Structure 1
Amino acid sequence: MSFKIAIIGAGSVGFTKKLFTDILCVPEFKGIEFALTDVSEHNLQMIKAILDRIVEANKLPTKVTATTDRRKALEGARYVISCVRVGGLEAYGDDIRIPLKYGIDQCVGDTICAGGILYGQRNIPVILDFCKDIREVAETDAKFLNYANPMAMNTWAAIEYGKVDTVGLCHGVQHGAEQIAEVLGAKSPRELDYVCSGINHQTWFIELRLNGREIGKDELVAAFEAHPVYSRQEKLRIDVLKRFGVYSTESNGHLSEYLPWYRKRPDEITRWIDMSDWIHGETGGYLRYSTETRNWFETEYPQFLEAASKPIDPSKRSNEHASHILEALETNRVYRGHFNVKNDGVITNLPQDAIVESPGFVDRFGINMAAGITLPEACAATCMSSINVQRMSVHAAISGDIDLLKLAVLHDPLVGAVSTPEEVWQMVDEMVVAQAAWLPQYAHAVPAAKERLSKSRVKTREWAGAARRSVRSIEELRAEKAALKQAG
């Protein structure tokens, strides 16, 4: 086969390499073209060198190009994959730092909450630029695969305003299923069948069968509580399972941002999280992890380049959806996965305009969603709180209406549990001023925001959060990796 895949934000080096090798595990795809694009020439050249080394080592006819000219990369592309982070770690740092001044302690801050909403404001104008280019220079009816967070907001904007055939992709469902299979003693995750439905990062395992046998709440609770690791790392998720009756896909730390009962008071945060890894609830955990990962890659790049000389092993193909979707569309080998799409009847008790994550099947006819799923009422209620915030956030990003943006942040469950309206209004002013370089739609509002900040009497505090760890040095990371290798 011969077609072109464009990857926007290809400087996300590790993830781009994973997608690349996954796709090349499909035998029919050996002769396709990958067009990489990013705003960073430096990152582009690093990832291109790695992918070129993979092509050379495996003696493939695959073509790899790299350019900072996005339209050139998109010309003639049949598939466009986005994994961008607008503003990079600099803006992400503000997403965590500024809300902390107002008592809002986030672990990730990339979906909703104050950080996720501002992340969406930065991304959505850029997503619409991508869509414009796709409509104008890509193949007719090109498919846009969005991996970038905030998943629901980005996908909502691309479908509703970008008018491009878009699907949002995440790996939370797969990771949650792997956990469940492990605690139930399965030899392989393939022994577990499930229906998982909701919205991105708030998706719920509403049906579970292990080798055909139905798994109920009590058995699942007992299995998690008996597990030597998850019983400690996933305390919050287990508590939600007990109360809601179903298990959530999202990690302990990330889930705590959407359910304010667990993260609104510092003493409660430390009760429910685990500090063995960032993902279990650490304050600004993903920011620290991302910073360390970037620093490690920059320093250890020669090792990454050397590792690229190894043969591609199809048995190690990941469970990221992208390669499997492309394989199904191009070869008609049917694939079942969980995808982010506009609701339109997929989930009966969520709004029809919302972006939902639910089961679907892919073949040459496209992505075909299973319709008519009804969530348990508590799950639907939790999703609704986020959907209302997402809808306002998307509309604010499109219109540049700072008052609507403030209302979106005010209605966020965790923000509303922690902050007063006066604090929210000042916090949003501060975040918009700090991130003005990435928020062109709010340029008209920045002078007035600065003026309000100069006169504000709302008190803030310099606070690192309830459970903060410092960014580790390269030397510390090397020592930790060496200790793990020796112990393992």
Structure 2
Amino acid sequence: MSFKIAIIGAGSVGFTKKLFTDILCVPEFKDIEFALTDVSEHNLGMIKAILDRIVEANGLPTRVTATTDRRKAIEGARYIISCVRVGGLEAYADDIRIPLKYGIDQCVGDTICAGGILYGQRNIPVILDFCRDIREVAETNAKFLNYANPMAMNTWAAIEYGKVDTVGLCHGVQHGAEQIAEVLGAKSPRELDYVCSGINHQTWFVELRLNGREIGKDELVAAFEAHPVYSQQEKLRIDVLKRFGVYSTESNGHLSEYLPWYRKRPDEITRWIDMSDWIHGETGGYLRYSTETRNWFETEYPQFLEAASKPIDASKRSNEHASHILEALETNRVYRGHFNVKNDGVITNLPRDAIIESPGFVDRFGINMAAGITLPEACAATCMASINVQRMSVHAAISGDIDLLKLAVLHDPLVGAVSTPEEVWQMVDEMVVAQAQWLPQYAHAIPAAKERLSKSAVKTREWAGAARRNVRSIEELRAEKAALKQAG
């Protein structure tokens, strides 16, 4: 087979390498072309060198090109994969820092909440540019695979306004299933059969079977509470399981951001999170992790390049959906996964226009969703709160309506549990002004926002959050890795 895959945001070096090696684990895909594109020539050069090394080491005919000209990369592509982070870590730092001034403590801030909504405002204009290029220069009926957050908002914009065949992809479901299999004592995650449905980062394991035996709430609660690690790391998640009756896919820290009950007071935050790793609730945890990862990669790049000389091991192919979807579409080997698509009645008690994440099957006819799923009422209620915020956020990003943007932030569950309307209005003004270079649709609103900020009487505070950690130096990271290696 010979076709072209364009990867936008290919400067996300580690993730691009994973996608690349996963796809090349499919025997029929050796003779394809990967077109890499990114706004950073520096990162683009690093990832191309790594992928070229992989191709050379494995004696493959695979072609790898790299360009900052996105349209050129997309030209003639059958599949376009996006893993962009618009604004990079600079804008992301403001997504965390500015809401903290108003008492809003986020662990990740890339889905909803104040940070996720502004992230969507930066992404959506760029997503629509991608879609225009796909319509105009990609292969006819090209498929857009979006890995970028905020997943639901980006996918919503691409489908509804970009008019491109789009699927959103995430790995939260797989990670949650691995946890459940482990606590239940399964020898392999493959022993667990499940139905997981909802919206991205709020997906729910509504049906569980281990080797054909149905697993109920009480057994699952007991299994998690008996686990020596997860009982401490997933306290909030276990509490939601007890109250809702089903387990959420999302990590302890991420889940805490979407609900109005666990992160609204500093003493409550420290009660429910765990500081053994950022993902369990640390303030700005993903920002710290991302910063450390970037610094580590820049410093240790020669080692990453050397590691690229190893043969591809198909047994280590990851459970990221992309390679499996492409394999199913091109070879007709059926793949079952969980995909972000427009609802259109797949989940009976969520709106038809919402972007859901739910089970589907892929073959040469495309992605076919399993329809007729009804969520437990509490799960549907929490999803609905997020969907309403997502819808307003997408419409604000498309129209450049700053008042609608403020209403979207006001209706966010965590923001509404912490901040007053006056605080929300000022916070959004401050975030839009700080991120103006990535928000072209709000250019007309920036002067008035600056004027309001100069006259505002709303008080803020400089607050690091309830559970903030400093970014570790390269020396500290090396010492930690050496200690772990010695201990292991």
TM-score range, shorter chain: over 0.9
Find the counterpart in structure 1 of residue 118 from structure 2.
118
SS in 2 for 1:262: coil
1:54-83 CA-partner distances (Å, limit 9, x unpaired): 000000000000000000000000000000
SS in 2 for 1:274: coil
Instruction: Give, in whole Å, the separation in 2 of the partners of 1:282 and 1:71.
Output: 39
Cα drift, residue 115 of structure 1 = 0.1
Cα drift, residue 2 of structure 1 = 0.1
Instruction: Give, in whole Å, the separation in 1 of the partners of 2:367 and 2:323.
Output: 14
Find the counterpart in structure 2 of residue 16 from structure 1.
16
1:335-364 CA-partner distances (Å, limit 9, x unpaired): 000000000011000000000000000000
Instruction: Give, in whole Å, the separation in 2 of the partners of 1:32 and 1:221.
Output: 47
SS in 2 for 1:374: coil
Cα drift, residue 10 of structure 1 = 0.1
Cα drift, residue 260 of structure 1 = 1.6
SS in 1 for 2:458: coil
Cα drift, residue 322 of structure 1 = 0.1
SS in 1 for 2:11: coil
SS in 2 for 1:111: coil
How does 1:1-400 map onto structure 2 within 5 Å? Answer: 1-400=1-400
Cα drift, residue 164 of structure 1 = 0.1
Cα drift, residue 160 of structure 1 = 0.1
Identity value in percent = 96
1:262-303 CA-partner distances (Å, limit 9, x unpaired): 000000000000000000000000000000000000000000
1:93-113 CA-partner distances (Å, limit 9, x unpaired): 000000000000000000000
Instruction: Give, in whole Å, the separation in 2 of the partners of 1:12 and 1:290.
Output: 11
Cα drift, residue 187 of structure 1 = 0.2
1:8-33 CA-partner distances (Å, limit 9, x unpaired): 00000000000000000000000000
Once superposed, what is the RMSD of the aligned Cα atoms? Answer: 0.2
Instruction: Give, in whole Å, the separation in 1 of the partners of 2:337 and 2:282.
Output: 30
Cα drift, residue 407 of structure 1 = 0.2
1:369-420 CA-partner distances (Å, limit 9, x unpaired): 0001000000000000000000000000000000000000000000000000
Instruction: Give, in whole Å, the separation in 1 of the partners of 2:399 and 2:442.
Output: 9
SS in 1 for 2:264: coil
Cα drift, residue 226 of structure 1 = 0.3
Find the counterpart in structure 2 of residue 484 from structure 1.
484
Instruction: Give, in whole Å, the separation in 2 of the partners of 1:483 and 1:43.
Output: 30
SS in 1 for 2:300: helix
Instruction: Give, in whole Å, the separation in 1 of the partners of 2:170 and 2:128.
Output: 20
Return the TM-score normalized by structure 2: 1.00
Instruction: Give, in whole Å, the separation in 1 of the partners of 2:394 and 2:345.
Output: 21
Structure 2 unaligned spans of 5+: none
SS in 1 for 2:358: strand
Return the TM-score normalized by structure 1: 1.00
1:127-158 CA-partner distances (Å, limit 9, x unpaired): 00000000000000100000000000000000
Cα drift, residue 5 of structure 1 = 0.1
Cα drift, residue 51 of structure 1 = 0.1
1:305-361 CA-partner distances (Å, limit 9, x unpaired): 000000000000000000000000000000000000000011000000000000000
Cα drift, residue 185 of structure 1 = 0.3
1:204-256 CA-partner distances (Å, limit 9, x unpaired): 00000000000000000000000000000000000000000000000000000
SS in 1 for 2:311: coil
Instruction: Give, in whole Å, the separation in 1 of the partners of 2:357 and 2:74.
Output: 27
SS in 2 for 1:36: strand
SS in 1 for 2:223: helix
Structure 1 unaligned spans of 5+: none
Instruction: Give, in whole Å, the separation in 2 of the partners of 1:469 and 1:487.
Output: 24
Cα drift, residue 85 of structure 1 = 0.3
Instruction: Give, in whole Å, the separation in 2 of the partners of 1:157 and 1:327.
Output: 26
Instruction: Give, in whole Å, the separation in 2 of the partners of 1:237 and 1:259.
Output: 11
Instruction: Give, in whole Å, the separation in 1 of the partners of 2:422 and 2:396.
Output: 19
Instruction: Give, in whole Å, the separation in 2 of the partners of 1:345 and 1:448.
Output: 42
1:408-440 CA-partner distances (Å, limit 9, x unpaired): 000000000000000000000000000000000
Instruction: Give, in whole Å, the separation in 2 of the partners of 1:253 and 1:486.
Output: 29
Instruction: Give, in whole Å, the separation in 1 of the partners of 2:145 and 2:222.
Output: 38
1:465-487 CA-partner distances (Å, limit 9, x unpaired): 00000000000000000011111
- Aligned length, in residue pairs: 488
Cα drift, residue 198 of structure 1 = 0.1
SS in 1 for 2:14: helix
Cα drift, residue 3 of structure 1 = 0.1
SS in 1 for 2:242: helix
